[in-house]
Amino acid sequence: MSDQVRVLPWSTLEGNPCILVGPGTGFMARLADNVESVQLGMACDLLGHAADTLADRKATPEELRFVTARLTESLREVHRIAESRGDRLSASDLSDVDDSDEDDDDPQLPAGAFG
C-alpha cells in the first residue's frame, strides 16, 4: 500500500494546513474522518439556522453578521474537506486508470466506481 498525502480538516495555530502522509488507515486518518463528519454535519445544521435567520424579518444586523461569520467559517472547513478529498480521489484515479490504449477517446473510470 503506498503512502498518500492528505490535508487534515484543521490547521495550525498560525493558520497553516496540517498534512498527513501515510497509507490513510491509521489513527490520525480515522480521527480526520471523524472531524470531517462532524464539520459536515454542523455545516448542514448551520444552513438551516441561516435560512431561518434570513426568513426572520426581525433579525438584527448583529444576528445577520453572526450567522454570516459562522457560514464563512463553515464554508472554509467544507472547502478544505472538498479539496482534500478531491486531491485524494485524483491521486487514486491516476493509479487506477489503465492507460494502455492512449488513442481511446472514452474516459476511464476507476475500479469500483459504481459500488
Query: Could you read off the pLDDT of 3-43 as tens digits, one per residue?
Result: 788 999 998 999 899 999 988 888 999 999 999 999 999 99
pTM exceeds 0.85: no
More confident residue, 91 or 43: 43
Distance (Å, rounded) from C-alpha 85 to C-alpha 67? 27
Distance (Å, rounded) from C-alpha 109 to C-alpha 93? 8
- pLDDT score recorded for residue 109: 47
Which residue's entry shows cell 472531524? 35
Q: Band of the pLDDT at 97, cuts 50, 70, 90?
A: low
Element (H, E) at 83: helix 61-96
pLDDT in tens, 48-77: 999 999 999 999 999 999 999 999 999 999
- Most distant CA pair in the chain: distance in Å? 63
- pLDDT score recorded for residue 115: 42
- pLDDT score recorded for residue 28: 92
Strands (E), the chain: 4-11, 17-22
